[in-house]
Chains A and B, each alone.
Chain A
Amino acid sequence: MKTYQQINDRIESGKAVVLTADEIIGYVEKKGLAAAAEEVDVVTTATFGPMCSSGCVLNFGHSKPKIRMSEAWVEDVLVYTGLAAVDVYLGATQLRHADPANMYHPGEFRYGGGHVIEDLVAGKTLQLFALSYGTDCYPRREIRTYFTIEDLNQATMVNPRNCYQNYNVAINDSDKTIYTYMGLLEPNRRNANYCSAGQLSPLLNDPYYETIGMGTKVWLAGAHGHVYAEGTQHAGAVARTPAGVPKGGAGTLALTADMKQMRPEVVRGVSLLGYGVSLALGIGIPIPVLNEQILKRTCVRDRDILAPVVDYGTDYPQNTGRVIGHVNYEQLRSGRIKVEGKDVAVGSLSSYCKALETANLLADEIRAGDFQLARPIASLAKENKMKPLVIRQKEP
């Protein structure tokens, strides 16, 4: 048994023993759970993949004379201005102005919100264009200028939903090629795609949210941030394996951090053919080894984690809820899965390679005494379910 304080003291003195969620499996096997729980202080988990519910709040500061932006674009990508005068929210999936979208199907979506965020973090010079109706206090009606992230007062990433605990494996039962947020899916189950770091993924290593909760400190693309709320669509009450691992989506996290501290190689715009744009992020979350049970759950292996195979031809868009079956991440990572007897090639949208890199970067920071852990101030819900949107008639 250890406390957060004891672990942080060891981190501060540069003596903390830190392993990645990948390394801990073999380590516990060798040393035994009890001995390993004594020795190891922190297990680092990570993920790298597209996370559509991401974006950032930017504050531009005031021009002379001042403007209260009522419509604004950064690199021709619309930003939300329903905030104070020069605050805007830039969302990852916003298309660029005049992008033909899917008019010529499948659209290419080469540049959008996710790419603006990538360029911003990479320190590029970007164009701001904004309009206003003009007020006595904010008389300017139009502005066009160029800026970098350093010119901004604040550039804060505020992501309503990241780090899905587990995710669907997408397949296509229909007889035509489809273009989805889970990638290109050929007809008649010719290929499948998945999107999770499996045994490295944060919430799969803490399936009951014992250490990851509101206030938990996270490594968000290199910046030290934290979990500010449960993520949107968080649903703790799902089917689980006997070891507690969710057999589908389940938990999510809402994360925030200062973009000026981020590393460009793990903040990457995403273009999904026929679907749209998004943002891929590298996220690392440390799990404190407070006791043997917590350590045991970080030893989860790819083969113990089941993902639901879902048809994106009909079942997903029509919200039927049908699951074709389950496969585990060891099978997924082998590049081939069996779906109802058929051998199917499988690709991944998340990068295990980058997730591993992230878990190691975070582990190095903790070992060097540069990253302290934070005890959550509130837990994520374990009992809530996800509600559908009901289409109702207006009551008379």
Chain B
Amino acid sequence: MNETVTKKMMLFFPRCECEKPIIYHLVKDHNLVVNVYRAKVTPEEEGYLVLDVTGTEDDIERAMAFVKTFNVTINCTGKGVTWDESRCTHCGYCITHCPTDALYIADEATREVAFNEADCIECLACIRVCPFGACASAF
């Protein structure tokens, strides 16, 4: 139970929860290593935060229970950047712009492109360059 794992997630903070130092507590009280990819507070004072946390399963579980007490929505599936397979033409244009190979050639013979969400650091380069609008950001 003491093995450390890394989990990527997107947190959504409704209005008024933005100013609380939640990340500080994740590190200090729950022994987590936090890696923030992207954060944004909208003009409506809602907050989005995409991060990964590294720690033991137990610590992560306790930390998430703590985060939930702030009325924060935790989304571990649909993260900040999405790739719509049905809109992707598999041109491969984004590949040279993706710094982590999260978008990659999955099949050398057909040149089919695939997206590995876990490797995406949310730099948003693909959203800027994809000519077919296949990549999008949740915020």
Q: Which residues of A contact B (CB under 8 A)?
A: 48-50, 110, 183-184, 191, 193, 268-273, 278, 280, 333, 335, 345-354, 356
Contact = CB atoms under 8 A, between A and B. Distances in A.
Contacts of B112: 353
27 contacts: A110-B133, A183-B93, A184-B97, A191-B96, A191-B97, A269-B132, A270-B131, A280-B89, A280-B131, A280-B132, A333-B111, A335-B95, A346-B96, A347-B94, A347-B97, A348-B91, A349-B91, A350-B91, A351-B89, A351-B90, A351-B92, A351-B111, A352-B90, A352-B110, A352-B111, A353-B90, A354-B90
Q: Which of B92, B105, B112, B131 has the most CB of A within 10 A?
A: B131
Interface residues of B, number: 19
A347 B98 CA distance: 11
A270 B111 CA distance: 20
A349 B110 contact: no
B40 interface: no
A351 B92 CA distance: 7
Given A272-B131, A335-B95, A347-B97, A356 B110 contact: yes
Interface string B79-97: 0000000000111111111
Given A184-B129, A268-B89, A347-B94, 16 more contacts: A49-B91, A270-B132, A271-B131, A273-B128, A278-B131, A280-B131, A346-B96, A347-B92, A351-B90, A351-B91, A351-B111, A352-B92, A352-B110, A354-B89, A354-B91, A356-B111
Contact of B129 (A50, A273, A278, A350): A273
B53 interface: no
Contacts of A333: 111
A348 B111 CA distance: 11
A268 B96 contact: no
Contacts of A350: 91
A350 B105 CA distance: 14
Contacts of B95: 335, 347
| Across the A-B interface, the 6 shortest Cβ-Cβ residue pairs | A353-B90, A352-B111, A347-B96, A351-B91, A345-B96, A351-B89
B93 A268 contact: no
Nearest to A22: B109
